[in-house]
Amino acid sequence: MENPSLGMFIAVFEEVFGKTLFWAMVAAAAIVTVLYLYVLIRDRSVSWRKFLLAQVSMPFGAVLAVVFLWNVTHSGFGDIGGPVDLLVLLGVAAIGAIGAAILVYTIQSLIQGPDRPPQ
């Protein structure tokens, strides 16, 4: 691998999704991330009650990510051919899980507001 540049990767991403969709997704991801940071700063603590539901969503995010990838690539679990494939599978699942958790946590925080302090 010689000199892969950030510009080249961006060019490839733009071709995968189309320019509009790619940058819309970048924007969406950035907005969710910013909102996540916003609610953390606003609440000045992690709400473990909200985090519980976020955790519950993680397996769904993981499965959804893997099934989505299998569907768009005409492949399935039986195509795992070596250790690197298992790592890719786990990596995709992990990204799905973390993405789902952040999204669910942020949505809850935005809708419900900060936890009330214990009475």
Partner 1 sequence: MDFPDIPTTRRALLGALAAGGTAALLPGEAPAQHRAVQTSANIVILGAGAAGTALANRLSARLDGANITVIDPRQRHLYQPGFTLIAAGLKPSGYSVSQTADWLPRGVTWVEAGAAAIDPEAQNVETTDGQTLAYDYLILATGLELNYEGIEGMSRELIGQNGIGSVYAGPEEAAATWREMDRFTEEGGVGLFSRPATGMKCAGAPLKYTFLTDHYLREKGNRSRSEIIYAAHSDTLFGVPIVNEKVRMLYADRGFNTVYNHVMTAIDPGRKVATFATPEGDVEIEYDFTNVIPPMRAPAAIRESGLSWEDRWVGQGWAEVDQYTLRHARYPNVFAAGDVAGVPKGKTAASVKWQVPVVEDQLVAQIVGDTTDHIYSGYTSCPLITRVGRAMLIEFDYNNNLVPSFPGLIAPLEELWISWLIKEVALKATYQAMLRGRA
Question: Per CB under 8 A, does 5 bind partner 1?
Answer: yes
d(CA 50, CA 39): 12
Q: Residue 31 Cβ, how far from partner 1 at the closest point, in Å? A: 9
DSSP summary character for residue 97: H
Longest dimension (CA), the chain: 61
Which of 54, 58, 102, 109 contacts partner 1 by CB under 8 A? 102
d(CA 46, CA 70): 34
Question: Per CB under 8 A, does 90 bind partner 1?
Answer: no
Question: Per CB under 8 A, does 39 bind partner 1?
Answer: no
d(CA 61, CA 73): 18
Site for partner 1 in 50-89 (CB under 8 A): 61, 64-65, 68-69, 72-76, 78-82, 84-85, 88-89
Q: Residue 115 Cβ, how far from partner 1 at the closest point, in Å? A: 24
